[in-house]
Structure 1
Amino acid sequence: MLVPGVGSYFDEVVAGASAAATAAGARVILGIAPYGANSDRAQVDRLLESDVDGLLLTPHWTPGEGLGGSEWLVDLPVPAVLVERRAAPEASAAQLDAVCSNHRHGVLLALRRLSELGHGSVLLAARSDTRTAHEVRAGYTAAAHHLGLAELPVIDVDSPSTISSPESVHDLTARIAEAARSGVRAVLVHNDQDAIQLPPLLRMHGLSVPEDIALLAYDDVYAALCDPPLTAVAPPKRAVGTEALNLLLRRLGAGDELPVHQIELLPTLKIRKSCGNPV
């Protein structure tokens, strides 16, 4: 199983796959190819040297370009299932099985909740370097249009390699505070690693969550640990891992007799304190 990292989102994905493998009398061998390291192929080659029967793959994916540079995936000597990735229809990797969260639906859940609370616009602060980020941004545009909300310019959130910079976090906070002065009172942040840093920093601008700002997070890895606990979109991370492993086992048993499966699982919305009452 190849993932871009552990310690956050993919922990639950790996846990789901590992539990399903154990139940089937199999074992997961883990490889990590961090974002930006360009080590996908080297890590896959290492996994293949372990005589694995199949692969669960979350390769680096450049938003808007499918799985550019990953044509080699279709020539692997064992079956492979993409996990939280899907190739563009015209890409050769589109013929691979895939299991993903439907992040556009997740964003719709978040914006619908805020709309029901009376917000006429929602500010999105999001990363731009992963498939999830790409889908969150596309989902924001679609959901705002569907719900009749004003679509605002997206605030770019730095990638994990730079988000630890205090300057980037304070800049994000300042831009949210500026939007609040213009009447925006609801923010969706992808992801919650960034969102949980905001409440104390917003207080420095005279803004409290949820009294002045309704704050939602995307991913629900750390959101419940914030003060106040953050309402969050929760992709079905563990279920994605479980479904991907079970699909791989089916592929191993049926071979080409099994049609290509590209499965999407729906996120849920975890309601906590950070949205407040109707405005």
Structure 2
Amino acid sequence: LAAGARGLLVAPSWSAPDHPARYEEWVTGLPVPTVLVERLGVPGGPLDEMDRVRSDHAHGVLLAVRHLFGLGHATPLLVARADSPTAQAVRAGYARALDVMGLRAPLPVLDSSSAERHPVLFEETARGLADAVRTGRATAALMHNDEDATWMVRRLAELDVRVPGDLALVTYDDEVAALADTPLTAVAPPKRAVGRRAAELLVERLTTPGAEAEPRVHLDLLPTLRVRASCGPPTSP
């Protein structure tokens, strides 16, 4: 703002569910046209009065669950981080997907983490997932995010659990999923399109006469599912 910015695209690095409510006054108080990018506020709260462009992560999770269910798997297990807005959206989307499809989770969500930053938690998660596979409680999983999933596939192999032979795996983000030793089926949020549409909306607010007085816009863009080698039907007992 001090440098003369006339408008802002804002994507706060909120890492806990209560952050939108705690910090919404700062965002809504900005003195220039602002578009919220890939973030949600509290339903009915002040952030809902802002322009917003985001990926529909709940739809992305539903695509993954339906794909695995369509291959013949029972309800897939969710392995997910909890330290980012996308992670929280994936967790919420998982609960919604199961509700839509009338399914019940085989186990509580397994907390994911970076193998390098949090090796103890990563190892606990890997062993918990391997145990779920060996005991027949899970034949499929959705994991957020790609980097963690790539490390997880390697660790599961060391624990004698094969992807996709023993476990069908879909990852969420599709940034490095195609580069894994076993290319990973992935949900791909439309990140580039979100950025482009947010920028277009802001430019319209700044350059079109009377645009600032027009109704606010909430735009949700749908992720896609990119099928690769990490998924197959469940193996026969």
TM-score, with structure 2 as normaliser: 0.91
TM alignment of 1:100-139, pairs within 5 A: 100-139=54-93
1:275 alignment partner in structure 2 = 231
Q: 1:172 aligns with which of 120, 125, 134?
A: 125
TM alignment of 1:106-255, pairs within 5 A: 106-151=60-105, 152-158=107-113, 164-183=117-136, 184-254=138-208, 255=211
For the residues of structure 2 that align with 1:121 and 1:145, how far apart are their CA atoms?
Answer: 11
1:33 alignment partner in structure 2 = none
For the residues of structure 2 that align with 1:63 and 1:93, how far apart are their CA atoms?
Answer: 14
Which amino acid is 1:144 matched to? Answer: L
TM alignment of 1:71-110, pairs within 5 A: 71-110=25-64
CA deviation profile, 1:148-182 (whole Å, cap 9, x unmatched):
33313101123x6x852332322221111011122
User: What fraction of aligned residue pairs are identical, expressed as a percent?
Assistant: 47
For the residues of structure 2 that align with 1:204 and 1:276, how far apart are their CA atoms?
Answer: 20
Aligned residue pair count: 230
Aligned-pair CA distance for 1:138: 1.4
1:68 alignment partner in structure 2 = 22
Q: Is the 2:141–2:168 Cα contact (8 Å) retained in structure 1?
A: yes
For the residues of structure 1 that align with 2:38 and 2:176, how far apart are their CA atoms?
Answer: 19
Q: Is the 2:170–2:186 Cα contact (8 Å) retained in structure 1?
A: yes
Which amino acid is 1:248 matched to? Answer: L
Unaligned runs of 5+ in 1: 1-47
Aligned-pair CA distance for 1:199: 1.5
Q: Is the 2:72–2:233 Cα contact (8 Å) retained in structure 1?
A: no
- SS of alignment partner, residue 165 of structure 2: coil
Q: Is the 2:6–2:32 Cα contact (8 Å) retained in structure 1?
A: yes
CA deviation profile, 1:42-68 (whole Å, cap 9, x unmatched):
xxxxxx122111100001333255342
For the residues of structure 2 that align with 1:264 and 1:163, how far apart are their CA atoms?
Answer: 33
Which amino acid is 1:234 matched to? Answer: A
For the residues of structure 2 that align with 1:142 and 1:93, how far apart are their CA atoms?
Answer: 22
1:264 alignment partner in structure 2 = 220
Q: Is the 1:103–1:132 Cα contact (8 Å) retained in structure 2?
A: yes
CA deviation profile, 1:96-129 (whole Å, cap 9, x unmatched):
1110000000000000000001111211011122
1:29 alignment partner in structure 2 = none
Larger mean CA deviation between 228-237 and 69-78 belongs to 69-78
Unaligned runs of 5+ in 2: none
Q: Is the 2:166–2:234 Cα contact (8 Å) retained in structure 1?
A: no
Q: Is the 1:97–1:261 Cα contact (8 Å) retained in structure 2?
A: yes
- SS of alignment partner, residue 227 of structure 1: coil
What RMSD over aligned residues (CA atoms) do the two structures have, in Å?
A: 1.7
Q: Is the 2:170–2:231 Cα contact (8 Å) retained in structure 1?
A: yes
- SS of alignment partner, residue 198 of structure 1: helix
Aligned-pair CA distance for 1:90: 3.4
Structure 1 163/265 Cα, relative in aligned 2: closer, same or farther at 3 Å? Answer: farther
For the residues of structure 2 that align with 1:163 and 1:156, how far apart are their CA atoms?
Answer: 15
